[in-house]
């Protein structure tokens, strides 16, 4: 605990013994002969109480040296607890000086007990000042810590926000990349149409929808005529250019909700929901004309390209066991490509294979997986009838 101290400022040492004898036990008493000496002592070792008892002629008018000393000490310790006591000879003198920064006045003559009371009161006020000062320092420190914590939390929040923003941007970029990858995986890179796997999955979904909602559905199988001769005559790059152009011209004649895919090689399959065979045949004819009427560019040359079209209408709930039996047989094994029911390799039981790889003798009423086969048979008839034409299943 800090040792208490009293600085007695007086040009007459007659009171110093009384001040020292009236001080609490263990309190150090220091004597300064004038104000200048008092300021030097206070600067080196701050006292708790400064008792000023300068001669009357040193305080003419408004207080003189006593007031000047008071101001100097207050400037020296502006925010530190300090008690300033003035020893005055008259009430008028005390009144003039008390409002200039002194905490209390002791009027002379005074008994020893009055000295003790004055000093004890000064120490009590000092203790109260120190308590208030400690509380103020505590709360000021708490405010500083809170401000520092708030600043730190704000920095952390901004850092987290920036990190979340970066994560969100990275997530969006990843989602965009994933969508592109999914689109690339679902598309045939050359024609821009559905890939074979995506095409078969779309056929399954549309057949389920047709069965559930009792809607019509038609398919068109397209085979480019004599495509091998284009590759042989102009090269495979020219053949690739033809495939790309076929995809472009084909999609120009499709509605939103129609689906086009590359079935394999130079074969394509169109799936037209809510479309019967007659309307599907009309669409096929428009596409056929777009191929035949405008030559295809193969490098620097223009080449006539035609195609044969086979149209078939999906027979909802055809002859299989239970409701929608044949459709159910097609969708029962996800990932398997549609083919005629009854054979794992896509060939119906008892079916014969015609020259050129086309299959004959298939059950006409076998709905679902029979859609592609019947469109295939119609397209094969178009080939047999001279190519560059549209044939409809059951009509041609």
130 with 224, same domain? no
**Arithmetic mean of pLDDT over the chain:** 81
- Provide the whole-model pTM: 0.50
Q: What is the CATH number of the domain that holds 97?
A: 3.40.50.2300
Give the pLDDT band (50/70/90) at residue 223.
very high
Of the listed ranges 75-84, 245-254, 289-298, 315-324, the least confidently predicted one is 315-324
Q: Flag whether pLDDT at 362 surpasses 60.
A: no
182 inside domain: no
116 inside domain: yes
Question: Quick one: pLDDT at residue 181?
Answer: 66
Question: Quick one: pLDDT at residue 305?
Answer: 97
95 with 214, same domain? no
Average pLDDT, integer, range 249-267: 95
Measured from the Cβ of residue 10, the count of other Cβ atoms closer than 10 Å reads: 21
- Max avg pLDDT among 45-59, 144-158, 324-338, 372-386: 372-386
Question: Quick one: pLDDT at residue 86?
Answer: 85
Dihedral in degrees, nearest 10, Cα atoms 309, 312, 313, 315? -160
Contact 306, 291 (CB under 8 A): yes
Question: Quick one: pLDDT at residue 148?
Answer: 87
278 inside domain: yes
Q: Flag whether pLDDT at 331 surpasses 70.
A: no
12 with 91, same domain? yes
Q: What percent of the chain has pLDDT over 90?
A: 37
Question: Quick one: pLDDT at residue 55?
Answer: 58
126 with 252, same domain? no
Give the pLDDT band (50/70/90) at residue 31.
confident
CA distances from 318 to 99, 359, 379, 394 (A): 114, 20, 22, 16
186 inside domain: no
Q: Flag whether pLDDT at 335 surpasses 70.
A: no
Domain boundary among 136, 170, 187: 136
313 with 214, same domain? yes
Give the burial string for 348-367 (b: 16+ CB within 10 Å, else e). beebeeeeeebbeebbeebb
Q: Flag whether pLDDT at 292 surpasses 50.
A: yes
Q: Flag whether pLDDT at 337 surpasses 80.
A: no
Of the two residues 343 and 198, the one the predictor is more confident about is 198
Order of strands, sheet of 390-392, starting from the edge strand that comes earlier in the sequence = 259-264, 267-273, 217-224, 307-313, 390-392
212 with 361, same domain? yes
Question: Quick one: pLDDT at residue 193?
Answer: 96
242 with 335, same domain? yes
Q: In 3-state terms, what secondary structure has residue 11? A: coil
Domain count, the chain: 2
240: left (phi over 0), alpha (psi -120 to 50) or beta: alpha
144 inside domain: no
Task: Quote the domain boundaries for residue 340.
Answer: 196-392
207 with 352, same domain? yes
Q: What is the CATH number of the domain that holds 345?
A: 3.30.70.270
């Amino acid at each position: 605990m800090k040792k208490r101290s009293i600085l007695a400022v007086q040009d007459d040492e007659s009171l110093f013994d009384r001040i020292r004898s009236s001080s609490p036990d263990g309190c150090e008493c220091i004597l300064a002969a004038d104000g200048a000496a008092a300021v030097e002592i206070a600067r080196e070792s701050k006292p708790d109480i400064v008792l000023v008892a300068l001669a009357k002629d040193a305080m003419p008018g408004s207080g003189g040296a006593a007031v000047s000393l008071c101001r100097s000490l207050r400037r020296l310790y502006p925010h530190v607890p300090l008690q300033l006591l003035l020893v005055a000879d008259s009430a008028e003198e005390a009144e003039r000086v008390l409002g200039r920064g002194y905490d209390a006045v002791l009027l002379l003559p005074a008994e020893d007990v009055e000295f003790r009371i004055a000093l004890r009161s000064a120490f009590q006020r000092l203790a109260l000042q120190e308590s208030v000062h400690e509380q103020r320092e505590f709360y000021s420190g708490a405010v500083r810590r809170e401000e520092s914590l708030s600043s730190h939390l704000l920095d952390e929040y901004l850092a987290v926000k920036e990190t979340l923003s970066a994560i969100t941007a990275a997530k969006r970029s990843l989602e965009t990349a994933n969508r592109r990858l999914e689109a690339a995986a679902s598309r045939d890179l050359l024609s821009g149409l559905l890939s074979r796997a995506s095409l078969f999955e779309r056929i399954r979904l549309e057949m389920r929808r047709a069965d559930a909602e009792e809607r019509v559905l038609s398919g068109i199988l397209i085979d480019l005529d004599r495509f091998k001769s284009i590759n042989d005559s102009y090269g495979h790059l020219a053949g690739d250019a033809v495939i790309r152009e076929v995809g472009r011209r084909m999609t120009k004649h499709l509605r939103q909700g129609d689906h086009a895919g590359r079935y394999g090689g130079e074969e394509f399959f169109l799936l037209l929901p809510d479309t019967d065979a007659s309307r599907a045949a009309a669409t096929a004819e428009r596409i056929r004309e777009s191929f035949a009427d405008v030559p295809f560019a193969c490098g620097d040359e223009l080449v006539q390209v035609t195609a044969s079209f086979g149209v078939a209408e999906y027979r909802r709930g055809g002859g299989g066991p239970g409701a929608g039996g044949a459709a159910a047989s097609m969708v029962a094994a996800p990932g398997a490509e549609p083919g005629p029911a009854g054979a794992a390799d896509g060939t119906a039981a008892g079916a014969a294979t015609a020259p050129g790889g086309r299959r004959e003798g298939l059950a006409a009423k076998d709905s679902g997986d029979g859609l592609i086969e019947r469109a295939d048979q119609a397209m094969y008839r178009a080939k047999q009838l001279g190519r560059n034409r549209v044939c409809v299943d059951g009509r041609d």
